[in-house]
Amino acid sequence: MSAPPNAATGALQVFPDKDTLVQALAEHLLALANSTLAEGGAERFFRIALSGGGTPQALYTLMASPDYASRFPWARTQFFMVDDRFVPHSHADSNGGMLQRLLFDKVPVPPDNIFLMPDSGPPADAARAYETTLRRATGLTELATTDTATTPPLLDVCLMGIGTDGHTASLFPGLSVLDNTTDWVAHCTPTTAPHTRLTLTYPAIAASRHVIFLVAGASKQAVLGRILAQDTSLPSTHVTALRDLTWYLDQAVAPPTA
Ligand code: 6PG
């Protein structure tokens, strides 16, 4: 059996600048949503998990704009989180709070379609609770490991970023969560970034039909080059997908050969 699509072999889509990059990605997400819903039954939701941080905020702002918002199938899309800082959603560092402000408050997405990560209580309990949320929302009891019809994907799209240290989601170098192959959601406390986090684990990310990395800016060119060269010391290198993995890049971060 061939190896699943992975970060080092993912297709590169390179755009001149951040604006054209997020415009192209927004249209790609719309096309994926429409094709997924066209293929699935009337009960099918398009399931997407979104990352936080700074890079995707321009994408979320664009998705909330009237022209785009009028075309997107909000009522048939379920929105999940890739990870979050374990702070109240009202905190300035909350990914869920940022998405609520930039996107969910501005578009006609039913509140029942939004699944933010818990932001209180013991972190371990919050991680368990979000895994239960994922199981109930998707009706899945196990994670797909191959792109076949037997087990549907947990997610249709998992939208990821990377840090200059090679982390993705809240999978930071050196953390034990990198070795968690049983849970769908885990908590962790990085030493190189603020806050305890909740994060999807590798198996949960790998159960995504399409994994998309959105990366922009010259500051990440070096770490991207290491990931594409299969530097296994970097957590992002170990990300796989069921069907395909794509890098959406601006020219500033793209490898010189791209
Ligand atoms: C987070 C994100 C994280 C992010 C990278 C890149 O909670 O911070 O989920 O994985 O994607 O840190 O962040 P920037 O886009 O801000 O560089």
**Residue nearest ligand 1's atom 13 by CA:** 53
Kindly report, residue by residue over 141-185, the tens digit of the pLDDT: 999 999 987 889 999 999 999 999 999 999 999 999 999 999 999
Atom of ligand 1 nearest to the CA of 51: 9
Please tell me the predicted confidence (pLDDT) of residue 1: 63
With a cut of 80, say whether residue 119 has pLDDT above it. Answer: yes
72 neighbors 109 (Cβ within 8 angstroms): no
| pLDDT above 90: percentage of residues in the chain | 95
Average pLDDT over residues 73-91: 98
For residue 2, the model assigns a pLDDT of: 79
The ligand 1 atom nearest the CA atom of 161: 11
Give the ligand 1 atom nearest the CA of 168: 10
Query: What is the three-class DSSP state of 178?
Result: helix
Q: 83 C-alpha vs ligand 1 centroid, how far in Å?
A: 9
Q: What is the pTM of this model?
A: 0.97
4 lines ligand 1 (CB under 6 A): no
Separation of CA 56 and ligand 1 centre (Å): 9
Give the pLDDT band (50/70/90) at residue 43: confident
- The CA-based dihedral angle spanning residues 124, 111, 246, 94, taken in that order and rounded to the nearest 10 degrees: -50
Residue 244 clears pLDDT 80, i.e. is over it: yes
The whole-number pLDDT of residue 40 equals 86
* Residue of the CA atom closest to atom 12 of ligand 1: 163
pLDDT of residue 81: 99
Work out the average pLDDT over 219-236.
98
Among the residue ranges 38-52, 63-77, 88-102, 202-216, the one predicted with the least confidence is 38-52
Residues 6+ apart with CB under 8 A from 41: none
Beta strand pairing call for 83-85 and 197-200: antiparallel
Q: Which of 125-134, 177-186, 249-258 has the lowest mean pLDDT?
A: 249-258
52 Cβ inside 6 Å of ligand 1:
yes
Say if ligand 1 is within 6 A of residue 198 CB.
no
Give yes or no for residue 54 CB within 6 A of ligand 1: yes
Query: Listing from the earlier edge strand, what are the strands of the sheet with 155-160?
Result: 11-15, 244-250, 208-215, 155-160, 46-50, 77-81
Q: What is the mean pLDDT of the segment spanning 231-241?
A: 98
Query: In the prediction, which pLDDT does 180 show?
Result: 98
CB neighbours of residue 232 within 10 Å:
10
- As a whole number, mean pLDDT of residues 217-226 equals 98
Residues in the chain: 258
Closest atom of ligand 1 to 167 CA is 10
Residue partners of 222: CB distance under 8 A and separation at least 6? 164
For the chain, what is the mean pLDDT? 97
- Which spans in 40-102 are helix H? 57-63, 66-69, 95-102
Q: Does ligand 1 have an atom closer than 6 angstroms to the CB of 55?
A: yes
Least confident of 16-25, 145-154, 227-236: 145-154
25: pLDDT strictly greater than 70: yes
Q: Are 83 and 197 in contact (CB under 8 A)?
A: yes
Q: Mean pLDDT over residues 22-38, rounded?
A: 97
